[in-house]
Amino acid sequence: MGRTDKLNDLDVVVKADANAVPRRAADRLGWAYYPLDAERDVARLVFTASHAPLVCDVAAMRGGDLETDLQARDFTVNAMALRWRRDCASELIDPGAGRSDLSTRLLRRMTPWSLAEDPVRLLRAVRLAVQLDFAIEEATLTQMLRLGDALRLVSAERIRDELWKMLALSEPDRALEMLRKFHLLHIVLPEVAQMEDVVQSAPHDVDVYRHTLPRCALRCCTPRLAPRRARHRTYADRRNARRSIGALSEQASSDAARNRGCRAASRRLAGLVCAVA
């Protein structure tokens, strides 16, 4: 894929005892160990002595064998595994032809029910498509349009996590625009969706949504270059700018009230959008 960033995230699947195995590995290697989900048998190892922390998530195998476990993943490019053997040899397990999709930069659902099983994958599809510059396969895209309302069943914490990852991308405005096109924006950020078709006074020639979007991208991507406060020439310009970002700020505040875990991230979002006021 031509990526130059170093590997810092590993996923390991074991047949059983996904909490016992990493605990023993942590004791032997000196890594930090965290039990993530005892019920689903998922644990995490973290090595912090390197420049960038190395995170290794260890999970128990689902379905009895590796191929069945991979069938339960979200997208074909995420459903590949290397089977380790005692002689240090490895075998690529690729039940969904993910390697081919990876080479053609195509994001495709693993199975027809992959998105319906976990609707947060709708947001993940948008993030991965923008982050990796992948095209979304036609059948996957069609299903995303049909399953939008299922996102309401996902917890606020999981939606929040995907949203902040989108804002950290190099093109957050592109991610937000994809959310709008897939009819997901009104669920994730309803106040932002309401900006669309809100007419502004002259000299603006676009609605509030399209006026605000590139400014959010500027602040998210180049915080050192973006001024703390844009210099508006007239009172009317300042008033229009405040109106255009007001909905985003209100959304950040309401998220904090609804979910204590969102407070820090909500303040970040409020700060990003208010910087253009």
DSSP string over 85-125: -TTS-EEEE-TT-HHHHHHTTEE-BSSTTHHHH-THHHHHH
More confident residue, 100 or 213: 100
For the ranges 93-97, 223-227, 232-236, the lowest mean pLDDT is seen at 223-227
pLDDT tens, position by position, 29-78: 888 898 888 778 889 999 877 677 888 999 999 888 889 999 999 999 99
Residue 241 has what pLDDT? 46
Model-wide pTM > 0.85: no
Residue 219 has what pLDDT? 54
In 3D space, the residue among 58, 50, 49 whose CA is nearest the CA of residue 23 turns out to be: 58
pLDDT tens, position by position, 99-126: 999 999 999 999 999 999 999 999 999 9
Q: Rounded CA gap, 242 and 231, in Å?
A: 13
CB 9 within 8 A of CB 32: no
CB 111 within 8 A of CB 71: yes
Share of the chain above pLDDT 90, in %: 32
Residue 78 has what pLDDT? 94
Residue 262 has pLDDT above 70, yes or no: no
- What average pLDDT does range 240-258 have in this prediction? 50
